[in-house]
Structure formats: C-alpha cells, structure tokens
Amino acid sequence: MNKLKPFLRVAGITLGVAAVLLTLGFVERTTDGTPVSELRAHVQGAEGMHFIDEKALRDEVMSSGTPVIGASLGSIDAGSIETRLRNIPCVAEAEVYHTLEGVLHVNVRQREPVVRVFNHDGSSFYIDADGYTMPTDPDYTARVLVVTGWLAEPGAVHGVRSVYENDSVQQHFRSDDIHRLAQFVRRDQLWNALIDQVVVNAEGGFELIPRVGAQRILIGDGTALEQRFEKLRLFYREGMPKADWRRYARIDLRFADQIVCTKRNSIP
C-alpha cells in the first residue's frame, strides 16, 4: 500500500488539474454568450495630464462600427481593440478584458511627456518619459521643459517612434540627448524647479535658461551631466549668495574642474 501512495498522489493531482480545466472551459463557454452590459473605461497617467479621458476612450471603443453594448462577450475581439487603442499617439499601453457578469473593462496608460521640442521651422512635438515621440494636442498643452534652437528633429508626424532607435537617421539628430537631459532635470527637485527652457546653440551645445537670474548656463553636448550639474549646484550654494544674481550673463560648465563666468557689461 505504501508503494501505491506516490502513484495515488500523482493521480489525485492529475484529476484535480483536469477538473479545474474542465470547470474553466465550462465557465468560458457559458460566459461567451453573456451580453456586454456595461463598458468601463479607465485612464491611468501622471496627475494633470489630459491628452485622453474616459469619455474619449469609450467613444473610441464604440466607433469601430460594430455594436459593443449588447454584443456577446465571445464576439468581442479584445486583442483588436487593444491594438487600435495603442495606435492612438498619446496611449502607451492598453488592456481590454471582461468579467463574468458582462462588464467590459478598457484600461489605458497615457504617455507622460517630459519635454517639448521646438524645431527651427516652428514645428514641435513631445518626447515622453519612455523616450517616445508624441504629437502636440490642439486642446491641451503639457507644462514641461521646452527645448528650442538650431534643431530639425523628426517628430511624431509619421507615428510614434523611439528616440533611441539605432538607425542611420537617428544618429544625425539630438532627440536622444534631449530626452536624457530632460529626464535628468525632472528627477532633481532643484533643477526641475529652476530650469524650464533649454536652447541648442549653433555649435550644438545646450544652454540652460533658469527661471531666475537671466543667465545662460552652458553645459556642452549633454555628456557628463552629473559632474556639470554638481558644479552648478556648488556654485549656487557657495558663490551666488556672495554676489548679485544679475552680475553674470553666462555661466560655462564645460571645462573640467572649473566654472567660467562672464559678467554683464552693465546692470540696469
């Protein structure tokens, strides 16, 4: 009898799994015919971001031409709906599922822009936290870091794209450097509060425009950000309290182990 115990245990487990699978199959078959009684939409995103709301999300699901409310759960192609929602430029992720009582859940995570890029020709686009481009919205403007200057970056006209794509086209542009700089600024409480604009000069270097002080802060090509911003932090903490903020027109952080300041010709 003791020798049979392992076999009986395996047989019991096998029968238990089979019973569960049969039950799940029965539930699936019975719920396939259940009509959709309600569509619940939920938009997840950073506070204050309003590129898409629950009403717009429901309208998008309903706009396929095929009735949703009243249709059987088995006739709902969740994968197709998810694909369509992911094609909306401001949507990063989409999930569609139903519950046994006939409620269809549609959840999306909207993209979170961290920087708006203005090209030299006046066109503009956003780059989100994940490093993807997204078009601007005529009805809503995100309050994010703004980058202007000598730029001709490919935006989101032809669809969402990663700024880190390893192709020959991307290698000639600055969107990846812009994204890294924007992320660095927004993750630091001081810099996020102090800096709201960056200019790309004719040499391709980044110049920070702080909210106070009216200086141009040169940080170079976007490399060695930690070292250069740490020098700036030290300068603000040790140097600026001893001098008039209006005294300097330019603060240059591009050189190792030093900060080069250019004074204004005159202070009004």
Instruction: With a cut of 50, say whether residue 23 has pLDDT above it.
Output: no
- Cβ–Cβ < 8 Å for 225, 238: no
Per-residue pLDDT, 30:
56
Output the pLDDT for position 245. Answer: 66
Higher pLDDT, 253 or 21: 253
Beta strand extents in the chain (DSSP E only): 38-44, 91-98, 103-110, 113-118, 124-128, 133-134, 145-149, 195-200, 206-210, 216-220, 248-252, 260-263
Give the three-class secondary structure for 93.
strand
What pLDDT shows up at residue 22? 43
Tell me the pLDDT tens digit for each residue of 203-233: 999 999 998 877 899 999 999 999 999 999 9
Average pLDDT on 179-198 reads 96
The topology under which CATH files domain 113-263 is Rossmann fold (3.40.50)
HSE at residue 153, side-chain half, CA atoms within 13 A, is 33
How far is Cα 71 from Cα 67, in angstroms, rounded to an integer? 6
CATH code, 38-110: 3.10.20.310
> Between residues 247 and 63, which one has the greater pLDDT?
63
Contact yes or no for 211/204 (Cβ under 8 A)? no
pTM: 0.82
How far is residue 88's CA from residue 181's CA, in Å, rounded to a whole number? 26
Helices (H), the chain: 5-32, 54-62, 78-86, 175-186, 189-194, 225-234
Domain ranges of the chain: 38-110, 113-263
- Are 127 and 115 spatial neighbours (Cβ–Cβ below 8 Å)? yes
